[in-house]
């Protein structure tokens, strides 16, 4: 039997976090939610997740800084890191982020079921 996939959701907007949790758990994932960058970075570095949904604008440490730190400190991280944002990125900075991340989603443009589908294809 396939082991349950674990998702770490680093998201400070509780409504969005809960929305993601409900649809991902319904699809069979185990989901942990943290709401700040400090806790998020610590959780990612444990390397016990299959996917990390990483919001860019979170308190304490920005998502982009977490991404850089993780890529430097744990280049062999097993988790796929997916940036989630509503921030309009310039073309340059978006390309830069996409080179380090395994996925990039605009929260306002993706439904919870599309999120589940996206992760299943990573």
Edge-to-edge strand ranges of the sheet holding 103-106: 30-34, 6-10, 51-55, 80-85, 103-106
Domain membership flag for residue 1: no
Q: Place 92 in a pLDDT band, splitting at 50, 70 and 90.
A: confident
How big is the chain by its Cα radius of gyration, in Å?
13
Domain membership flag for residue 90: yes
Percent of the chain with pLDDT strictly greater than 90:
86
Q: Find the CATH number of the domain harbouring 75.
A: 3.40.50.2300
What is the residue range of 107's domain? 6-121
Count of structural domains within the chain: 1
**Where do runs of H (alpha helix) occur along the chain?**
14-26, 37-45, 63-73, 91-100, 112-121
Structure tokens, 92: 């340059």
Domain membership flag for residue 49: yes
Average pLDDT value over all residues in the chain: 93
Domain membership flag for residue 109: yes
Judged by DSSP in three states, 88 sits in coil
Q: What is the mean pLDDT of residues 11-34?
A: 97
């Amino acid at each position: 039997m396939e082991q349950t996939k674990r998702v770490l959701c680093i998201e400070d907007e509780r409504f969005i976090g809960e929305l993601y949790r409900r649809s991902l758990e319904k699809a069979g994932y185990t989901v942990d939610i943290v709401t700040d960058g400090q806790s998020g970075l610590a959780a990612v570095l444990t390397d016990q997740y299959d996917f990390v949904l990483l919001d860019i604008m979170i308190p304490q440490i920005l998502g982009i800084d977490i991404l850089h730190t993780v890529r430097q400190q744990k280049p062999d991280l097993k988790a796929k890191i997916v940036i989630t944002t509503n921030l309009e990125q310039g073309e340059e900075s978006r390309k830069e982020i996409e080179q380090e991340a395994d996925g990039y989603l605009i929260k306002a443009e993706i439904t919870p079921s599309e999120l589940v589908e996206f992760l299943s294809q990573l």
